[in-house]
Amino acid sequence: MRVLLLNPPGRGTYIRDYFCSKTTKSNYLFHPIDLVMLSGTVASRHETAVLDCMAEQLGTETACARIDAFDPQAIVSLVGSVSWPEDREFLAAQAARGRRVIAIGDVLHEKADERLAEEAWLEAALGDFVGADVLAILDGELANVRGSTVRHADRRIETIGTPGKLRGEYDLPRPRHELFPERGYRFSFARHERFATVLTDWGCPYPCTFCVMSTLGHASRPISSVLEEIDCLRARGIHELFVMDQTFGVNRKRGLELCAELERRGDLSWTTYVRPDRSDDELLAAMRRAGCHTVMMGVESASPEVLASYEKRYALEQVREGFTRARRHGLRTVGTFIIGLPEETEQSLRASLDLALELELDFMSLNMAVPRFGTPFRRRAIELGLVDERDLVMDQGGADAKLPTQALDRTTMLALKRRMVRKFYLRPSYLWSRLRDVTSLSELARNAREGLALLARNR
């Protein structure tokens, strides 16, 4: 059949993938990894097209015309809590035209059976994007579903298996990057304009209670499968990668083997996430030789109590040591912080900014605390009365503060967050270091656009 993989249109620039939807914090927009990984699986059996309305900046009318031109029998669509009212309206209209609609996204990650009961247009909610459930649902072979919520022919709704909870190893057909738009994607840390987004590990084995990744389990993809995908990208002239693994090298032996293969190719440039306590000298050196130039590490908070309370399972001294090692190996560093947890105060925010300066970060990323579906933090926020469990719309991008804290209201929290961004990025010494770091005029132009967009959102 004809199957369309869809990133729907919307009034904002939305990132809906990997069960973690949000608005872009500056100007970045990477490839929707759910659709990238699903593309090979769906195309292995069906005629497949991709329509990414975010990358192509398509409005509703143009998007509908493009969909009608392909005339799919089924649509596999991203949805997000950040855009849920818009998504459900658009997809319901598509279902009204006789098209089957299967969806995946954070708003369906918890109580998907309730969402299907509320939304008659929705046939199924995928529990992951690296397995074969999408084919089983498309082909009506529901006995082969392993972890999704489905609507049977008799309208009965059933959650089969444990959606998202993967263990061990997974494999899938080569993702069809060639189906995605050539232009429209932007990545803040890329050294080159053309890049691809890839995934070699699913989920994360660590139990951080505010993070949706801790709810997904952890599984690894065979290195041979990863290399097949990367070699096809290289053949198309793409050598810059965003490796979206949430903890690269968590399986240290596998991480070193993959780095050795990438080093052997000798023409790759990439960014990924690592944990400060897991990134030892041997791994970082191997990553650098393999072409890695930027690592993103979770700092989260300058409070040891907060790190312990939310199950980060590392100490501040390990954070400091991790960033020191990364700099020693010539890697740029991005420190990610989560602000607005119930314990947050003005003093704790100042301490986090001080820590960001102490760590000599190349980039600081502030994420607003939001009660992600399926997480222990969401349950706690509901118990504390900070959020209504019926509220399905949220955004961690920083345009708004979803939650007050026990000491700060939402308006004060957002003002303090914006002040932190300006204080960090507008230091003359910082601006000079960024200028010295760029390797080309095109990179300088991209950095300038990203920086201006970030500051515009934090005035």
φ, ψ (nearest 5 deg) of residue 263: -65, -40
Q: What pLDDT does residue 458 have?
A: 84
Delimit the domains of the chain by residue range: 2-167, 187-456
| % pLDDT > 90, the chain | 80
φ, ψ (nearest 5 deg) of residue 167: -140, 155
Tell me how far apart the terminal alpha carbons of the chain are, to the nearest angstrom: 49
Q: How far apart are CA 9 and CA 77, in angstroms?
A: 11
Cβ–Cβ contacts within 10 Å for residue 316, how many? 16
The answer on pLDDT for 398 being more than 70 is no
- Mean local confidence (pLDDT), 435-440: 90
Q: How far apart are CA 237 and CA 53, in angstroms?
A: 24
Q: What is the DSSP letter of 214?
A: G
Strand partners, 335: 297, 364
Please name the amino acid found at residue 283: L
Q: How distant, in Å, are the alpha carbons of 22, 90, 219, 248, 302 from that of 397?
A: 5, 23, 27, 23, 20
CB 8 within 8 A of CB 107: no
pLDDT in tens, 97-106: 999 999 999 9
408 pLDDT tier (thresholds 50, 70, 90): confident
18-32, 51-65, 69-83, 141-155: segment of lowest average pLDDT: 18-32
How high is the mean pLDDT of the chain?
Answer: 94
**Residue 134: which of 30, 31, 16, 35 has the closest Cα?**
35
Q: Which helix (H) or strand (E) holds 68?
A: helix 60-70
DSSP for 197-210, written as a single string: EE-SEEE-SS--TT
Q: How far apart are CA 376 and CA 372, in angstroms?
A: 9
Q: What pLDDT does residue 318 have?
A: 96
Q: How far apart are CA 248 and CA 448, in angstroms?
A: 28
CATH code that applies to domain 187-456 = 3.80.30.20
Q: What pLDDT does residue 399 have?
A: 66
pLDDT in tens, 213-271: 999 999 999 999 999 999 999 999 999 999 999 999 999 999 999 999 999 999 999 99
CATH code that applies to domain 2-167 = 3.40.50.2300
The answer on pLDDT for 316 being more than 80 is yes
388 pLDDT tier (thresholds 50, 70, 90): confident
User: Do β-strands 269-273 and 240-243 pair in parallel, antiparallel, or remain unpaired?
Assistant: parallel
The answer on pLDDT for 446 being more than 90 is no
- Mean local confidence (pLDDT), 85-107: 98
- Mean local confidence (pLDDT), 287-306: 95
pTM: 0.94
φ, ψ (nearest 5 deg) of residue 359: -75, -5
